[in-house]
C-alpha cells in the first residue's frame, strides 16, 4: 500500500496498469500500449506509432527543426539504401555496424551482385555526395540534416527504446578546420540540452563519452544522459566530432584559401525517437504518463459532465471553453465520448498524461466556475471560469517546473559519490548512478561492466549543470591515478 492510504493502488488496479514499483518494465510496456502511444507490429523489431505517439513525435520534430533552421542548417533527403561497400570504407564504422545491418539483395526481379543495406546511419553516403559537391573553402561549411528512419537489428524489442527501425534526425556538417567543427559539435549538444530542459522538463548531464563508448568512427562523442525512474540511464542525444576520418574515407577535400588541398573536418549529431522513452520513464507515475506541458499533444482536456438530457449542451459549452483556450495557442481536446463514465474518462486522460483536466458540469456553468485538476496534483480546484482560462499558460509553466524539479531531485538523490569498489557495486545494485574516479583504461572499464553491468555514461563538461567539479583521485576499480580531471558517471543503461 502506498502512503496515500491505498488510493493510488486502487486507481491503478481499476485502470489496470501495473505500478512502477511492482515491475517497472511491465509498467512501461502497459503504459505505451494503453495510452495509445505505440503497438507491436508484425515486422520483427519494429513498432507502429499510433496517433497519440505520432503527435508527440511531430511536436518534437517541429521544435528541433525550427531550431536547426534558425542556426543556419539546411535539410536534405538522402536515399534509405546505402551500397554495402560504403559501410566497409571506414574501419571502425564497419566494425560497429556490420552485425546490425538489414541487407537488400533483390530489386524487382534482379538479384544484386553487390547488395545494399538499409541505412544504420548516413555518414558514408553523405560523405560520398559531399565529395562531389565540395571544391573550395568558399563552399564550406556544409550544415546539413535529414529526418527519417534508420535500421539496426535488435533482438529484444522495446517500444521507442529499442526498435530495429527508429526515427531521428541526423545532422551532418563539414568545416574547414577543427575549431569550427568542434564549436558546431558543442552548439548542437547545447541545443539538445536546452530542448530537454526547457521543453521536455528533463534534467540531463552534458558530457564527453569515454573512448570505449564513442560512436563508431568518431574522434570525440558527447552525450546528454538522463536518469529514468528505475535509476537507469538513457543516452538521450549525441553529438560527434568525426575529425577527418570520414572525409579521408570518402575523399571530402577542398582547396584552402592558401590554395592547398585539405580534408574537411566533419561532425554528426542526433536525437531519436528514444527520447519518447525518456519522457515516459522520467515523468510517469503509477497512474500512467505525465506529458511535459510544452510538448504535450493535448495540454488541456475538457470533460463535459452531464446527464442524458443536458450532455449535448455541456459538450457545446465545453467547446466554447476550448475555443477560448485555443485562442491562446493551447492544444485542447474536448472529450465528447458518450457511453463511458466520467470516472473512465478521468482515468483515461490521467493514463495519457494530459497536464490539465477541466471538468464542466451544469451547476458549474450556472455558477460561472470550472473544476480544474493538474495531472501532477492530488486536489481539484474550483475556479472562476475566466480565471481558469487566463491562468492556463502559467499553470502549464508551473507543471513544467514541477516536473523538472522532481526529476532533478530524483537524479541528485540517486547519484552517489563513491571512492571504494564495494560502495560502487552496492550503489549500482541499488538502482543508482555512481560518480567515481577512473583510470581511463578501456580494459578496466570493461571489467567494471562485467562485474556490475554499469558502463561509463559520460565525463561531465565543465559547465554541465550537475557533477562537474574538478578533482583528482585513484581509480575506483584498479587504484591507478584518475584520468579526466574529474569523476566519471557510471550507470546501467537502456
| Contact set with a copy of itself (CB under 8 A) | 39, 41-51, 53-55, 57-58, 74-83, 86, 99-110, 116, 118, 125, 128-129, 132-133, 138, 144, 148-149, 151, 153, 164-165, 167, 339
Supply the minimum distance, in Å, between the C-beta of residue 481 and a copy of itself: 40
Q: Decide whether 103 or 420 has the Cβ nearer to a copy of itself.
A: 103
* Those residues with Cβ within 8 angstroms of residue 340's Cβ, 6 or more apart along the chain or in another chain: none
Q: Decide whether 272 or 482 has the Cβ nearer to a copy of itself.
A: 272
Q: Decide whether 22 or 153 has the Cβ nearer to a copy of itself.
A: 153
Sheet of strand 380-384: strand arrangement: 332-334, 300-304, 356-360, 369-374, 380-384
Supply the minimum distance, in Å, between the C-beta of residue 137 and a copy of itself: 12
Are 458 and 487 a contacting pair, CB within 8 Å?
no
Q: Which residues face 358 on adjacent strands?
A: 302, 372
Q: Decide whether 138 or 307 has the Cβ nearer to a copy of itself.
A: 138
Q: Decide whether 101 or 439 has the Cβ nearer to a copy of itself.
A: 101
Supply the minimum distance, in Å, between the C-beta of residue 267 and a copy of itself: 17
Are 279 and 404 a contacting pair, CB within 8 Å?
no
Handedness of CA 475, 479, 482, 483 (dihedral sign): negative
Closest of 99, 153, 94 to residue 123, by C-alpha: 94
Distance CA 120, CA 100 (A): 8
Q: What are 347's three cell numbers? A: 482515468
Q: Decide whether 22 or 43 has the Cβ nearer to a copy of itself.
A: 43
Supply the minimum distance, in Å, between the C-beta of residue 312 and a copy of itself: 17
Supply the minimum distance, in Å, between the C-beta of residue 103 and a copy of itself: 4
Supply the minimum distance, in Å, between the C-beta of residue 335 and a copy of itself: 14
Q: Decide whether 59 or 493 has the Cβ nearer to a copy of itself.
A: 59
Question: Exposure of 284 by Cβ count < 10 A (0-12 exposed, 13-18 middle, 19+ buried)?
Answer: buried
Supply the minimum distance, in Å, between the C-beta of residue 53 and a copy of itself: 8
Q: Decide whether 153 or 327 has the Cβ nearer to a copy of itself.
A: 153
Q: Decide whether 297 or 491 has the Cβ nearer to a copy of itself.
A: 297
Are 229 and 284 a contacting pair, CB within 8 Å?
yes
Q: Decide whether 116 or 263 has the Cβ nearer to a copy of itself.
A: 116
Supply the minimum distance, in Å, between the C-beta of residue 110 and a copy of itself: 8
Are 435 and 488 a contacting pair, CB within 8 Å?
yes
Q: Residue written as cell 558530457?
A: 207
Are 148 and 179 a contacting pair, CB within 8 Å?
no
Q: How many Cα atoms within 13 Å fall on the side-chain side of residue 172? A: 23
Q: How many residues does the chain have?
A: 494
Q: Decide whether 148 or 362 has the Cβ nearer to a copy of itself.
A: 148
Are 203 and 408 a contacting pair, CB within 8 Å?
yes
Indicate the pairing of strand 332-334 with strand 369-374: unpaired
Closest of 385, 331, 337, 393 to residue 358, by C-alpha: 385
Closest of 323, 322, 305, 324 to residue 313, by C-alpha: 305
Alpha-helical runs (H) found in 195-267: 245-249
Supply the minimum distance, in Å, between the C-beta of residue 273 and a copy of itself: 9
Supply the minimum distance, in Å, between the C-beta of residue 94 and a copy of itself: 14
Supply the minimum distance, in Å, between the C-beta of residue 81 and a copy of itself: 5
Residue 39: CB atoms within 10 Å: 13
Closest of 220, 167, 224 to residue 192, by C-alpha: 224
Amino acid at each position: 500500500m502506498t502512503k496515500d492510504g491505498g488510493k493510488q493502488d486502487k486507481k491503478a488496479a481499476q485502470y489496470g496498469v501495473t505500478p512502477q514499483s511492482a515491475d517497472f518494465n511491465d509498467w512501461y510496456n502497459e503504459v505505451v500500449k494503453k495510452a495509445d502511444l505505440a503497438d507491436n507490429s508484425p515486422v520483427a523489431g519494429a513498432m507502429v506509432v499510433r496517433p497519440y505517439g505520432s503527435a508527440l513525435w511531430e511536436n518534437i520534430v517541429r521544435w528541433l527543426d525550427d531550431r536547426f533552421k534558425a542556426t543556419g542548417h539546411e535539410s536534405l533527403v538522402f536515399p534509405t539504401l546505402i551500397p554495402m561497400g560504403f559501410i566497409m570504407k571506414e574501419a571502425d564504422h564497419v566494425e560497429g555496424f556490420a552485425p546490425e545491418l538489414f541487407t537488400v539483395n533483390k530489386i524487382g526481379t534482379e538479384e544484386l551482385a553487390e547488395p545494399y543495406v538499409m541505412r544504420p546511419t548516413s555518414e558514408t553516403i553523405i560523405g560520398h555526395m559531399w565529395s562531389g559537391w565540395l571544391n573550395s573553402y568558399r563552399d564550406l561549411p556544409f550544415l546539413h540534416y535529414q529526418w527519417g528512419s534508420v535500421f539496426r537489428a535488435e533482438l529484444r524489442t522495446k517500444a521507442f527504446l529499442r526498435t530495429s527501425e527508429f526515427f531521428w534526425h541526423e545532422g551532418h556538417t563539414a568545416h574547414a578546420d577543427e575549431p569550427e567543427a568542434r564549436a558546431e559539435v558543442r552548439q548542437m549538444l547545447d541545443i539538445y540540452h536546452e530542448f530537454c530542459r526547457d521543453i521536455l522538463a528533463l534534467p540531463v548531464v552534458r558530457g564527453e563519452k569515454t573512448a570505449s563508448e564513442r560512436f563508431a568512427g568518431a574522434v570525440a562523442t558527447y552525450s546528454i544522459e538522463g536518469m529514468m525512474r528505475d535509476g537507469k540511464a538513457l543516452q538521450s542525444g549525441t553529438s560527434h566530432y568525426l575529425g577527418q576520418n570520414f572525409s579521408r574515407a570518402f575523399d571530402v577535400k577542398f582547396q584552402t584559401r592558401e590554395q592547398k588541398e585539405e580534408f574537411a573536418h566533419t561532425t554528426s549529431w542526433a536525437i531519436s525517437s528514444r527520447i519518447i522513452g525518456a519522457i515516459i520513464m522520467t515523468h510517469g507515475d503509477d497512474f500512467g504518463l505525465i506529458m511535459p506541458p510544452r510538448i504535450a499533444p493535448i495540454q488541456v482536456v475538457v470533460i463535459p459532465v452531464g446527464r442524458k438530457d443536458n450532455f449535448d449542451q455541456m459538450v457545446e459549452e465545453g467547446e466554447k471553453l476550448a475555443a477560448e483556450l485555443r485562442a491562446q495557442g493551447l492544444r485542447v481536446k474536448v472529450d465528447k465520448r458518450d457511453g463511458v463514465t466520467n470516472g473512465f474518462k478521468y482515468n483515461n486522460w490521467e493514463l495519457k498524461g494530459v497536464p490539465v483536466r477541466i471538468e464542466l458540469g451544469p451547476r458549474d456553468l450556472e455558477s460561472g466556475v470550472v473544476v480544474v485538476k493538474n495531472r501532477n496534483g492530488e486536489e481539484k480546484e474550483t475556479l472562476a471560469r475566466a480565471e481558469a482560462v487566463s491562468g492556463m499558460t502559467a499553470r502549464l509553466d508551473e507543471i513544467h517546473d514541477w516536473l523538472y524539479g522532481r526529476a532533478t531531485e530524483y537524479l541528485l538523490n540517486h547519484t552517489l559519490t563513491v571512492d571504494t569498489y564495494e560502495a560502487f557495486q552496492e550503489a549500482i545494485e541499488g538502482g543508482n548512478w555512481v560518480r567515481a574516479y577512473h583510470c581511463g583504461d578501456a580494459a578496466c572499464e570493461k571489467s567494471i561492466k562485467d562485474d556490475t553491468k554499469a558502463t561509463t555514461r559520460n565525463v561531465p563538461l565543465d559547465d554541465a549543470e550537475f557533477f562537474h567539479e574538478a578533482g583528482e583521485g585513484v581509480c575506483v576499480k584498479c587504484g591507478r591515478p584518475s584520468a579526466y580531471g574529474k569523476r566519471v558517471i557510471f550507470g546501467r543503461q537502456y
